[in-house]
């Protein structure tokens, strides 16, 4: 009990404490998401008491200030008879009011850091348990596609560029088309195994053609601008990427079909002209062919679908030209 202003309203049989002598220790949240919270009321000279807190939970990674300042102030006193010093010491552990209004840039930065930490923990947990087709996996793939890139100085760099950019263009254009056409019902379809299988079938079939287009484009460009004539390297790069993708789940029949069509195109390609002659039309047509959308709807979307992929490839072309340093 806390003493009231009017003595007559307080029962003499009940123990009382001053409000600012009270320290509350609470465990909040569910069993696997506990938060330890220390709370204290500070009585100012004027106005209502101020409720002050500090806390942490299992997501806390930076305990330095908690240990050094907050918890250190709560250490049991060496002299238990000096109550005033003890009270002054432990009350200094509380420096922030509960749900305090942010008044300056320092407080803002602290609160933003807390929010960022909480978001990071939540995203990590979702990413850990969702499937490779989940939204956070897709967002990560898209984000990787816009990260600053290193220069392409050798064939290993070129192979990595071809693989990453082909995968990115394939995934972004396919998923964006599906989202646009299906609207708000898009997410609900991911509970449908038939729909998931059709997406995977489309993804791999578009991807093998995207790899071909980008491989032929890059080698044609390098041939014309850096006098490179080792075209056999293009075969080895394509085969290496495909063999690695088999380990990642690419069906072997699709992989075999990809190699077959690559060699057929390889025999007919004009290396002098290819990079400047609509080099990415085949993969755009593959997106239109394989996207799991009803044919009567795809017919209406043909121009938009083709242009959406060509625009993505235009960005990749510009990026490649800036990065190539053979």
User: Rounded CA gap, 73 and 83, in Å?
Assistant: 14
Read off the pLDDT of residues 125-163 as tens digits, 9 standing for 90 and up.
777 777 776 777 777 776 766 565 789 999 999 999 999
Give me the pLDDT at residue 234, please: 97
Is it the case that residue 322 has pLDDT exceeding 90?
Answer: yes
Q: What is the mean pLDDT of the chain?
A: 83
Q: What is the pTM of this model?
A: 0.57
Token look-up 């990595």 returns 160
Q: What are residue 40's DSSP bridge partners? A: 23, 52
Sheet holding 35-42, edge to edge: 23-28, 35-42, 50-57
Q: Burial-class residue 64 by CB neighbours within 10 Å (0-12, 13-18, 19+).
A: exposed
Read off the pLDDT of residues 275-321 as tens digits, 9 standing for 90 and up.
999 999 999 999 999 999 888 888 888 999 999 999 999 999 999 99
């Amino acid at each position: 009990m806390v003493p009231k202003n009017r003595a007559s309203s307080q029962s003499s049989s009940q123990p009382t404490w001053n409000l600012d002598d009270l320290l509350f220790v609470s465990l909040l949240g569910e069993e696997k998401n506990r938060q330890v919270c220390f709370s204290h009321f500070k009585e100012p000279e004027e106005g209502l008491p101020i409720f002050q807190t500090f806390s942490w939970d299992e997501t806390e990674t930076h305990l330095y200030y908690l240990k050094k300042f907050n918890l250190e102030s709560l250490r049991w006193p060496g002299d238990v008879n000096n109550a005033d010093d003890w009270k002054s010491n432990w009350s200094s552990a509380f420096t922030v009011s509960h749900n305090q209004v942010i008044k300056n840039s320092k407080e803002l930065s602290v609160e933003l850091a807390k929010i960022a930490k909480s978001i990071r923990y939540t995203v990590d947990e979702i990413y850990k348990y969702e499937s490779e087709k989940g939204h956070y996996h897709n967002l990560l793939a898209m984000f990787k596609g816009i990260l600053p890139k290193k220069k392409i100085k050798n064939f290993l760099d070129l192979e990595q560029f071809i693989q990453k950019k082909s995968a990115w263009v394939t995934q972004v254009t396919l998923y964006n088309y599906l989202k646009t056409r299906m609207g708000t019902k898009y997410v609900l379809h991911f509970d449908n195994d038939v729909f998931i299988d059709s997406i995977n079938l489309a993804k791999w079939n578009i991807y093998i053609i995207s790899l071909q287009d980008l491989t032929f484009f890059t080698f044609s460009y390098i041939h014309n601008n850096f006098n490179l004539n080792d075209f056999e390297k293009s075969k080895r790069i394509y085969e290496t990427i495909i063999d690695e993708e088999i380990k990642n789940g690419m069906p072997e029949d699709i992989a075999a079909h990809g190699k077959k069509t690559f060699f057929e195109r390889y025999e007919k390609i004009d290396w002098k002209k290819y990079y400047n002659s609509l080099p990415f039309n085949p993969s755009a047509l593959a997106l239109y062919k394989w996207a799991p959308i009803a044919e009567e709807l795809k017919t209406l979307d043909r121009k938009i679908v083709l242009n959406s992929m060509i625009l993505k490839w235009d960005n990749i072309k510009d990026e490649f030209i800036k990065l190539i340093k053979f």
